[in-house]
Amino acid sequence: MKPVRHYPLRKLAETELAKCFKGLDDGVMNDLATSLVRQWLTYEGHAGVVTSTHQCWFRLVSMEDSPEVVVSQAEWHWGRTLSRDWHVDDEEIPGLLHQLNLCQSVLYRTAVGLTIRLWVEPEERAVRCEEQMGEHA
């Protein structure tokens, strides 16, 4: 992939996020756009955003001289999985997923005292969760 200035990537990220997530709060849009650009630069053009009900993957591709984004979305009920399987309090899920979207990895102490690690692998278009033994969130 050719080097691209960050500002055009930022505008591209904002455009794609606005298409996928109607009515985002300005602060959330800013956070997610920053995260997409950072992920594209870190993960060779791959990025992801996870919500309670969907996974959205943004693949930056070069079409001649201007970058374009291929978006793929999959229904995946992370909110239900986190609540049912990992005992995360329902009211904590939006904040936990937002942190995940910003950092791509987050530790969390569940309602039953488990410490879990949730992480995103943008190149694999995957989200993973596992218990962390001996770690504190």
Q: What percent of the chain has pLDDT over 70?
A: 92
At 65, give phi and psi (nearest 5°): -100, -10
Helix, strand and coil percent figures for the chain, each rounded to 5: 40, 30, 25
Task: Show the tokens assigned to 130.
Answer: 């596992």
Number of neighbouring beta carbons within 10 Å of residue 20: 16
**pTM assigned to the model:** 0.87
**Nearest by Cα to 77 from 51, 107, 38:** 51
Crossing angle between the packed helical segments 6-20 and 26-42, to the nearest 10 degrees? 120
**For residue 2, is pLDDT > 70?**
no
- Residues 91-120: pLDDT tens digits? 999 999 999 999 999 999 998 899 999 999
Q: Does 58 have pLDDT greater than 90? A: yes
Q: Which residue carries 């049912």 as its tokens?
A: 84
Confidence of residue 1 (pLDDT cuts 50, 70, 90): very low
Q: Per-residue pLDDT tens for 32-52?
A: 999 999 999 999 999 999 999
- Check residue 127 and give its pLDDT: 94
For residue 66, is pLDDT > 90? no
